[in-house]
């Protein structure tokens, strides 16, 4: 039998009082406890009274036992929590939390106020997600007896991807524990002692000079704004959140994606995807918003006229490609399939090639030598390719890509493609076929790869390309028993559809240059 606040509850031996209370919908405030981390007992806000013991006990570190009688909300405990919380706030910019105009100010300043130095909630990028504010509201906190001590620590912005303002740190230890116990990296530690204690790296090295993977897990567990992702810190709360699979490699990592103003502004590991013990890599965690929101995205179909690429519409460009295909025998046409195509797009391409009797299907740069061997005249590529000038037999290049990458300047036709965050489908990874969720709209006239092929097929009077959505394609794939293969793209592949990611993401470029001598840069 176990009793909490006069109520008999169910419990599992080995769990802590805090875990048991939460399992039974009994709330105990805490700022250091986290479901993914081992107990630490840093904040002391979860103090409870256990009958038969002297003093108070940490709910987050004390395991439950038979016949325990626990009190979590007595007047004495509430007074103790308020005193502990006062001490926490005395070293955290907290004037906004106790200001009598806070509610009025929140209405006037509904968005985050961008500032170089965070002096209160109104300038904190974590304002709407701050756990300190939540506890302050729970305790109905209106005043602090102690003077606020601002640590005057320099804001650390020298590393790529995230900023660190340890003036906001409450020493909960979450970032240290996730780095050591979950990632096994041991990059973050507590440095110095006593009043001067702070989180940092050994010997105060920049993260880029350590073995930090820039997974961002420390940011995800931070209860304050001390750690923040530089690319998303000033967007305020997202308008919506979705879940999808990363297609930058074949690991099959699942994401939770933040969307603001129909733009991807943040990525983090899917909290419900338990297969992933550790976090996602730096490419997925930080590069996708900057990469896919890039101003250099291809947005309109283009055709070469008078030695210049001019914007056109899909009907005109589809007809132009169809007429081009009709001019040449299938043996003189090649299709290059990117490893970043969805399974549905790849299937539609192969079906398209089969009906046209095109047998030259290229999948890797080494396959390009077939252009010379077979005297290929027309190349339809879904990825930027190097050194196309050397293939003298090529007369026409159709370039279906996301960015103007290698080969763009030689193309006769440009077809703007959607990224994997702008379409539905599946992608075969080491974990098998994984679902791809459409998160945002593709820019302007850019289309999903399979839709582009269907438009061309229509102009060629091919049958079986009147798909409405990817569900119909998947049904046909099932009937045809088409087997998808794991994409040969490992975690350290540095391009997306032929475009070097570092060209579009400055922080990623900084990371690669700083670690150019390492076999694995993260």
- Tell me the per-residue pLDDT of 351-377, one tens digit each, with 9 for 90 and over: 999 999 999 999 999 999 999 999 999
Element spanning 448, H or E: none
pLDDT attached to residue 377: 98
The CATH fold of domain 302-495: Rossmann fold (3.40.50)
pLDDT of residue 434: 96
The per-residue pLDDT for 277 is 58
Q: Which of residues 111 and 158 earns the better pLDDT score?
A: 158
Half-sphere exposure of residue 220, counting CA atoms within 13 Å on the CB side? Answer: 28
pLDDT of residue 235: 82
* 153 token code pair: 């620590």
CA torsion 274-276-278-279 (nearest 10°) is: -100
Q: Residue 27 — φ and ψ, nearest 5°?
A: -90, 130
Q: Report the DSSP pairing between strands 162-164 and 227-229.
A: antiparallel
> CB of 324 within 8 A of CB of 396?
yes
Q: In whole angstroms, what is the distance from residue 130 CA to residue 278 CA?
A: 23
Sorted by where each begins, the domain ranges of the chain are: 2-89, 302-495
pLDDT tops 70 at residue 503: yes
Kindly state the tokens that stand for 443. Answer: 């820019």
pLDDT in tens, 78-90: 999 999 999 999 9
Express each pLDDT in 43-93 by its tens digit: 999 999 999 998 999 999 999 999 999 999 999 999 999 999 999 999 998
pLDDT given for residue 275 in this prediction: 44
Domain 2-89: CATH class, spelled out: alpha beta
Which letter, b or e, does each residue of 261-298 get, where b requires 16 or more Cβ atoms within 10 Å of its Cβ? eebbbbbbbbeeeeeeeebbbbbbbbbbbbbbeeeebb
Q: What average pLDDT does range 102-115 have in this prediction?
A: 75
Banded model confidence at residue 110, pLDDT cuts 50, 70, 90: low
Q: Which of 345, 365, 328, 380 is nearest to 470 (CA)?
A: 345
The Cβ-side half-sphere exposure at 422, using a 13 Å CA radius, reads: 25
The mean per-residue pLDDT over the stretch 121-125 comes to 84
Q: Which of 477, 453, 451 is nearest to 353 (CA)?
A: 453
What's the confidence (pLDDT) of residue 147? 84
The mean pLDDT of the chain is 93
Q: Is pLDDT of 41 > 90? A: yes
Write down the number of H helices and E strands in the chain. Answer: 16, 23
pTM: 0.91
- In percent, the amount of the chain with pLDDT more than 90 equals 82
pLDDT score for 274: 54
Joined together, the tokens standing for residue 429 give 């990874």
For residue 235, give Cα distances in angstroms to 104, 297, 392, 456.
21, 22, 50, 40
Residues 6 or more apart whose CB falls under 8 angstroms from that of 185 comprise 179, 211, 212, 213
* The predicted structure's pLDDT at residue 320: 97
How are the residues of the chain apportioned to helix, strand and coil, as percentages rounded to the nearest 5?
A: 30, 20, 50
Q: Express as a percent the part of the chain with pLDDT over 70.
A: 98
DSSP state of 447: B
Tell me what pLDDT residue 59 has: 97
pLDDT tens, residue by residue, 423-475: 999 999 999 999 999 999 999 999 999 999 999 999 999 999 999 999 999 99
Backbone dihedral region for residue 30 (phi beyond 0: left; psi -120 to 50: alpha; all else: beta): beta
Could you read off the pLDDT of 255-314 as tens digits, one per residue? 999 999 999 999 988 888 754 555 689 999 999 999 999 999 999 999 999 889 999 999
Rounded to whole angstroms, the Cα distance separating 475 from 462 reads 19
pLDDT for the residue 343: 97
Q: How far apart are CA 386 and CA 389, in angstroms?
A: 9
Helix, strand or coil, per DSSP, at residue 416: strand
CB atoms within 10 A of CB 395: 14
Residues 168-223: tens digit of each pLDDT: 999 999 999 999 999 999 999 999 998 899 999 999 999 999 999 999 999 999 99
As a residue count, the chain comes to: 522
Instruction: Give the burial string for 225-240 (b: 16+ CB within 10 Å, else e).
Output: bbbbbbbbbebbebee
Beta pairing, strands 378-381 & 47-50? unpaired
The larger pLDDT score, comparing residue 127 to residue 228, is at 228
What average pLDDT does this structure show over 228-234?
Answer: 87
- Which residues does 110 contact at the CB level (< 8 Å), separation at least 6? none
Q: Which of 6-15, 116-125, 174-183, 270-279 has the lowest mean pLDDT?
A: 270-279
- d(CA 380, CA 365) in angstroms, rounded, equals 14
Is there a contact between 508 and 283 (Cβ–Cβ < 8 Å)?
yes
């Amino acid at each position: 039998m176990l009793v909490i606040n006069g109520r008999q509850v169910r419990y599992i031996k080995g769990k802590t009082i805090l875990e048991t209370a939460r399992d039974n919908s009994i709330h105990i405030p805490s700022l250091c406890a986290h479901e993914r981390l081992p107990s630490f007992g840093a904040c002391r806000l979860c103090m409870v009274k256990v009958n038969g013991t002297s003093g108070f006990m940490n709910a987050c570190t004390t395991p439950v036992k038979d016949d325990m009688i626990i009190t979590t909300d007595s007047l004495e405990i509430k007074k103790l929590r308020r005193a502990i919380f006062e001490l926490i706030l005395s070293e955290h910019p907290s004037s906004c939390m106790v200001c009598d105009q806070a509610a009025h100010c929140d209405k006037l300043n509904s968005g985050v106020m961008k500032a170089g130095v965070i002096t209160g909630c109104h300038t904190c990028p974590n304002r709407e997600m701050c756990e300190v504010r939540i506890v302050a509201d729970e305790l109905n906190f209106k005043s602090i007896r102690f003077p606020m001590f601002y640590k005057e620590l320099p804001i650390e912005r020298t590393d790529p991807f995230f900023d660190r303002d340890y003036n906001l740190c409450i020493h909960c230890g979450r970032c240290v524990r996730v780095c050591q116990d979950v990632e096994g990296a041991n990059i973050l530690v507590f440095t110095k002692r006593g009043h001067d204690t702070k989180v940092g790296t050994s010997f105060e090295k920049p993260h880029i000079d350590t073995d930090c993977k820039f997974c961002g897990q420390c940011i995800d567990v931070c209860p304050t704004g001390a750690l923040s992702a530089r690319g998303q810190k000033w967007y305020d709360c997202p308008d919506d959140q979705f879940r999808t699979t990363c297609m930058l490699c074949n690991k099959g990592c699942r994401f939770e994606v933040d969307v603001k103003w129909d733009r991807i502004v943040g990525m983090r590991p899917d909290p419900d995807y338990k297969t992933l013990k550790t976090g996602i890599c730096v490419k997925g965690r930080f590069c996708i918003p900057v990469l896919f929101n890039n101003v250099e995205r291809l947005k309109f179909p283009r055709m070469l006229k008078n030695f210049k690429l001019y914007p056109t519409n899909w009907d005109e460009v589809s007809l132009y490609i169809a007429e081009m295909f009709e001019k040449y025998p299938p043996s003189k046409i090649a299709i290059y399939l990117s490893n970043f195509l969805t399974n549905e797009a790849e299937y539609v391409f192969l079906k398209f090639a089969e009906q046209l009797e095109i047998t030259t299907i290229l999948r890797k740069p080494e396959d390009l030598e077939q252009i010379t061997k077979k005297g290929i005249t027309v190349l339809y590529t879904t990825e930027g390719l190097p050194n196309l000038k050397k293939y003298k037999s090529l007369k026409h290049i159709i370039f279906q890509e996301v960015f103007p990458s290698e080969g763009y300047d030689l193309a006769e036709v440009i077809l703007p493609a959607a990224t994997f965050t702008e379409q539905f489908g599946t992608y075969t990874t080491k974990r098998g076929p994984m679902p791809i969720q459409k998160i945002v709209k593709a820019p302007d006239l850019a289309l999903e790869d399979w839709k582009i092929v269907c438009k061309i097929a229509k102009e060629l009077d091919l049958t079986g390309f009147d798909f409405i959505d990817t569900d119909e394609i998947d049904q046909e794939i099932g009937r045809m028993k088409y087997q998808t293969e794991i994409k040969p793209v490992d975690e350290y592949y540095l391009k997306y559809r032929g475009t070097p990611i570092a060209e579009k993401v400055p922080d990623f470029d900084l990371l690669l240059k700083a670690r150019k001598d390492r076999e694995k840069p993260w």
